[in-house]
Chains A and B, each alone.
Chain A
Amino acid sequence: MSNQTSNGVNQFKKLLTDTYLIGKNELLIQVRNPLWLFFGLFQPIVYLVLFSPFLDGIKSAPGFPSTNAIQFFAPGLLMMNVLFGASFAGFGLIDQLRTGFIERIRVTPVSRLAIVLGLIIRTPVVMITQSIILLLVAVLFFGLSLNILGLLIVLVIMMIMGITMASLSFTIALIVKDEGTLAAITNFFTLPLFLLAGVMLPISFAPKILQNVSVIDPFRYAVDASRALLNGDLANQNIPLAILIFIVLGSIALNWFILAMKEAVA
């Protein structure tokens, strides 16, 4: 092997090792605090129990896109969990900035990319774990019927979405360095994104003007794709659309995070 290729291979191996070290460390912290997993699940389960039954009352209304309440609501609930869960990834980072942990990592020879990937990896892992538990509850207690292949693709979309939202949250955290400001900015963006995505009620029920605005809500495509996939409509065009949208947004967000990590003044 030429010097250049073996150098490249070594650098790649180092990237994997460093990402693994930081990622494992983050997951260890998460696992030591299982309460957070529980709290993350509490809200979606409350929505399942206290809200989704309402939808049975309107399932026969014209334009209702699913056969019953749970088939309509569960896919959107999964995406909603990712939107709100991953958007708060940055909070932990502010605390780590304050204790000097981030600076401690930044002074080591670990690449900035490895730091970024290591910090992010916890989000998709937690999201997938929570989703599997939520789906089990929906299947066992609410009669949700699942397309298995569709489910696998939904998990992929969730991962990409989770990485996107977490990257944005981390980046803003590095810039504002204050939990209150981060919370205000996060809520400012996530609430309209959520309301225009058709999670709680079908978008077709909204007035034309809101339907038009929802066209620029990337989250709406994730919800539509999720609904199509879990219900077995695998040819739905929202699926490749959602994947494409979040790969593009995710790349931009990830790059932004890497830049912020290079410049970060703790």
Chain B
Amino acid sequence: MANIIEITDLRKNFPGKGKDKKTAVEAVRGITFNVQEGEIFGLLGPNGAGKTTTMRMLCTLLQPTSGSASIAGHYLKEGSGNIRKEIGYVSQVGGMQRGSTGRENLTLQAGLYGINATVAPRRVKEVIELLGIESFADRKTVTYSGGQRRLFDLASGIVHRPKVLFLDEPSTGLDPQNRAHVWEQVKKLQNAGTTIFVTTHYLEEAEALCSRVAIVDYGKVVAIGTPDELKRKVSLDLDESGKITLNDVFLKLTGRALRDIE
């Protein structure tokens, strides 16, 4: 399988405020890995590990301090304009406009991706039907529950049929039913050919969705592989023959437990 994302020694430093060098942060300290076309790739790590920062650099929202990355054949910096055409991004907080309906939000999104005004309504309808969100599509998003809004966030990331979809903590704050529903939709998208890059705190989510996972801590990758590979690697050191979860892997590799964040 070809690589659709190639990351080489990506770094991001945030300068400290004023002369106090102590508040400077090395958020991402040399990350290198690839993502294969068509896979669901997960980035796992505790708060402050640099997951969101990495994702935002790949989505052209943040300039890397150094290092390079190519997404769908275009390099960051010179190719940012082209990268934006090929990717979708759903941030942790979403981005729906509260005073507009879900459908209106999606129509605007379609337009911003250059889908012309005659095709856009049909495309928006397709996406709404795909995710099963017709029943509230024409209400103002301010009236939506967390789950409903998250589904529309997801919709806004795929309305232009991107090659790669970036999801930052897709199911944070959702109840188990909504979470399962989101996973179902994400798998549907993978089946349709989209490569999906997910950051998550929820280890069950990583196990349920991801073909491969990279565990990051303090801005570096500490392990990478399929969930099974990682568990096997850790089980060689632990003397347990019982079931090993990603939580055990993480504990072993970073020395602290992942906290599930609401």
Residues of A within 8 A of B (CB): 14, 17-18, 21-22, 25, 28-29, 32-33, 98-101, 103-110, 263, 265-266
Contacts and interface: CB of A to CB of B under 8 A. Distances in A.
A32 B114 contact: no
A104 B60 contact: no
Contacts of A263: 63
Contacts of B89: 103-104, 107
A122 to B, nearest CB: 14
B84 A107 contact: yes
B87 interface: yes
A121 to B, nearest CB: 15
B85 interface: yes
6 contacts: A25-B97, A29-B99, A29-B100, A33-B99, A99-B93, A108-B109
B62 interface: yes
Nearest to A114: B112
Contacts of B85: 109
A187 B59 CA distance: 37
A107 B96 contact: no
Given A14-B114, A29-B99, A100-B94, A106 B61 contact: yes
Contacts of A105: 112
B108 A25 contact: yes
A103 B114 contact: no
B91 interface: yes
A14 B109 CA distance: 15
Nearest to A115: B112
B85 to A, nearest CB: 5
B81 A109 contact: yes
Contact of B95 (A14, A18, A29, A99): A99
- State the 10 A-B residue pairs at the shortest beta-carbon distance, nearest first: A104-B95, A100-B95, A100-B93, A108-B112, A109-B84, A107-B89, A21-B111, A109-B85, A101-B95, A100-B91
B136 interface: no
B126 to A, nearest CB: 19
Interface in B60-76: 60-63
Contacts of B92: 100
Contact of A107 (B61, B94, B100, B111): B61
A98 B61 CA distance: 15
B104 to A, nearest CB: 8
B61 A103 contact: yes
Contacts of B59: 107
Contacts of A14: 114
Given A14-B114, A108-B109, A103 B91 contact: yes
